[in-house]
């Protein structure tokens, strides 16, 4: 079975996280509340995907972000999701592809995907250290 790599972005505002309700017409995880993200396209690296998907999904550009972890998510395909924490961005957040978006408390976010729940627990576990990590600067 092929592994499909994806990037998901955990947007944090104080102690809240931005989640999306996926469209019921999506092939994978329809109607679930999830951390936004998308597939890595051929020729892209993780950072390029982060920038492209943030623009496509939420109409923003990240200015402060760091890699958190990678987790497998078995669905119709086996996904390897690379999670990034985004703490600063340019632009006004608007839902471009999801049915809706909303801010939730980090410690009780109602995610419908197990890997997303693990990633949010990891943010809680190491979050105080993430604030001390310099902004990731990679060529896009």
3-state secondary structure of 126: helix
Q: What value does the mean pLDDT take over residues 115-136?
A: 78
Question: At 131, is the pLDDT very low, low, confident or very high (cuts 50, 70, 90)?
Answer: low
Question: What local confidence, expressed as pLDDT, does residue 27 receive?
Answer: 86
Percent of the chain with pLDDT over 70: 92
- DSSP string covering 74-120, please? ESSSEEEEEEEEEEEEES----SSSSEEEEEEGGG---SSHHHHHHH
CA angle at residue 85 from 82 to 91, to 5 degrees? 115
Q: Most confidently modeled of 23-27, 83-87, 133-137?
A: 83-87
pLDDT, residue 28, reads 87
Q: Where are the domains of the chain?
A: 3-130
Residues constituting the chain = 140
Q: Give the CATH fold of the 3-130 domain.
A: Nucleoside Triphosphate Pyrophosphohydrolase (3.90.79)
Distances, alpha carbon 59 to alpha carbons 16, 62, 91, 105, in Å: 19, 10, 7, 22
Mean residue pLDDT of the chain comes to: 91
């Amino acid at each position: 079975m092929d592994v499909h790599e994806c990037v998901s972005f955990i947007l944090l505002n104080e102690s809240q996280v931005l989640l999306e309700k996926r469209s019921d017409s999506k092939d994978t995880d329809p109607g679930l509340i999830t951390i936004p993200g998308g597939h890595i396209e051929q020729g892209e690296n993780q950072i390029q995907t982060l920038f492209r998907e943030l623009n496509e999904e939420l109409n923003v550009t990240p200015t402060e972000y760091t890699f958190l972890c990678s987790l497998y998510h078995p669905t119709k395909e086996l996904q390897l999701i690379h999670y990034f924490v985004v703490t600063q961005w340019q632009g006004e957040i608007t839902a471009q592809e999801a049915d809706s978006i909303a801010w939730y408390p980090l410690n009780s976010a109602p995610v419908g995907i197990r890997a997303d729940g693990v990633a949010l627990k990891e943010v809680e576990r190491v979050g105080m250290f993430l604030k001390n990590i310099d902004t990731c600067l990679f060529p896009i």
